[in-house]
Amino acid sequence: MNTADLGLPVDVPSTALFTDQYELTMLQAALKAGTAERRSVFEVFTRRLPEGRRYGVVAGTGRVLDAVENFRFDADVLGFLEGQGIVDGPTLKWLAGYRFSGDVWGYPEGEVYFPGSPILRVEGSFAECVLLETVILSILNHDSAIAAAASRMASAAGDRPLIEMGARRTHELAAVAASRAAYVGGFATTSDLAAGFRYGIPTVGTSAHAFTLLHDHERDAFRAQVDSLGRGTTLLVDTYDVAEAVRTAVEVAGPELGAVRIDSGDLLLVAHRVRQQLDELGARDTRIIVTSDLDEYAIASLAAAPVDAYGVGTQLVTGSGHPTCSMVYKLVARAGSADPKAPLVSVAKKSTGGKTSVGGRKWAARRLDADGVAEAEVVGTGEVPAGLVDQQLLVELVKSGQVAAREPLDAPRARHMAAKANLPLSATQLSRGEAVIPTEYVQGRPGS
């Protein structure tokens, strides 16, 4: 299911105001200077991965495509800009006809990336490209951070499914985006119905402690839930005494009880005790689901426990300690005039303090070893070496302003699993380390 197919509105008239004011003031100055129509190339990249991470995950690309399509300055938006005196009359007139007509290339959603990877390349006039900076970075920085955390959790969980349940721990709209990114990163389901509605992600959920506390006795609560949802439901067993609750749950639902959920205590110890008790009661097929402030490290610590699934909330939707990827959007090449045939000139920031960048319109490829395992991320300008042509990473996402690569959400999810499987085994280690493969630069002519 695609968001665009649903025609869902956002809470502002368009995505055009998901931006910083200086994007529009730069536009005004460039229009006045006569440089606004110069052909330009912007690239999204990160100078480093979050501390300790071995790889990044591209997520949010589909949302970026939606945002670019909906980037329109309608009457209400123009009225706001005029009323606040943000830009002058000629700029308002130019914005009224804004439609992105350029090209966008990028790593396909779900792909992994490394420091310096040109994750997204936006080409067109300076005016139409510069306006997209903030909304593109807002989406990619958030979604990629969530997907990276989800990917690490999925590695720690192995074959055990993961449930995204962080809606109550973040902004209501961010929760929907986080659920989408988590699905790309390897989560199987979500508790957030808005995410299920917008993106077709499978949804799950049964009851909270409040439902048990509502009833005079725990048995009454279990009976009500089983009567309503069937014996295959999941019963929450840690409201009072876990052992007594497990016994009551099996008595009420029988050995066909679908699952029990544990949300507190020493999860490793409690899971072993509950598994033993369930087996003794004849409920050998009843699954055990654990929740309670899990992150990738807690999940890994439960690898030897008889756990069948994990529910993760806070740590997932906050990127497990890294809520952003520090991606930037930089001008790397531009023409010397507004002539469409004018050649591109490489440009780059050269300041000190670790914020330098590499100029030129770039390609990227992943070099593989003899066993087909990634050994380097190769980033360059000019002609692509013959040996890397088949390993190029960027794909065309938007052509002449029209989306060219919209896809169902299962596609980036499968792509991520494949991309992660082609990395060295150390990529899935949770211990702190550097990027699992190096980034190599091949300098050439910036091209036209």
Is residue 391 within 8 Å of 364, Cβ to Cβ?
Answer: no
Long-range contacts of 84-88 (CB under 8 A, 24+ apart): 86/21, 86/24, 86/25, 87/24, 87/25, 87/27, 87/28, 88/28
Rounded Cα–Cα distance for residues 24 and 30 (Å): 10
Q: Is the pLDDT of residue 300 over 70?
A: yes
∠ Cα 189 194 197 (to 5°): 80
The whole-model pTM stands at 0.94
Beta bridge partners of 112: 57
In the structure encoding, which two tokens stand for residue 310, read together?
Answer: 């994990």
- Taking only the tens place, the pLDDT of each residue in 1-41 is 444 445 554 444 589 999 999 999 999 999 999 999 999 99
Distances (CA, A) of 68 to 75, 77, 135: 18, 16, 9
- Taking only the tens place, the pLDDT of each residue in 48-57 is 999 989 999 9
Query: What is the 8-class DSSP label of residue 440?
Result: E
402-403/395-399 β-pairing: antiparallel
Is residue 334 within 8 Å of 35, Cβ to Cβ?
Answer: no
Average pLDDT, the chain: 94
- Taking only the tens place, the pLDDT of each residue in 375-432 is 999 999 999 999 999 999 999 999 999 999 999 999 999 999 999 999 999 999 998 8
Beta bridge partners of 261: 236, 289
Q: Is the pLDDT of residue 323 over 50?
A: yes
Rounded Cα–Cα distance for residues 178 and 172 (Å): 10
Beta bridge partners of 330: 43
